[in-house]
Amino acid sequence: MSEFEKYTAAPAAPTGAAPAEERQWGMFGHLAALTGLFTGGVGNIVGPLIIWLIKKDTMPFAADQAREALNFNITLLLIGVVMFLITLVTFGIGVILTAPLGIIIGLAWLVLTIMAAIKANNGVAYRYPFAIRLVK
């Protein structure tokens, strides 16, 4: 397994049917990232992190989904930093590339977060398509 695969490979999803409360907390783990819309982006990381820290020992499904949301939002933060650096290094000319990419990535983030929340509420462990899994 290469280093890249080591960090991007999706961990095995919890097996068995999750109870309703655990599914609800799993959904909250994904929806907590939406608080970033109101907190200047801080909530994208802090929201799922708080849910993961609170539920990691008591609700395996909810913890797994909050960790997945946390990893996805960390990945998007890293992508945003790279796009900002591209814009900065090119003295603003890179914004021609990074602005449309930012809009596309923002819309994808919103759609994938809502899809993940719905799947988690249905008891299906959702795996984001491109997330570097730093938190294990």
Tell me the pLDDT of the chain (136 aa) as tens digits. Answer: 665 555 555 555 555 667 999 999 999 999 999 999 888 888 899 999 999 999 999 999 999 999 999 999 999 999 999 999 999 999 999 999 999 999 999 999 999 999 999 999 999 999 999 899 999 8
Residue with tokens 């990419």: 101
Q: pTM of the full predicted structure?
A: 0.85
Contact 42, 2 (CB under 8 A): no
CA atoms of 5 and 38, how far apart (whole Å): 34
CA atoms of 98 and 87, how far apart (whole Å): 7
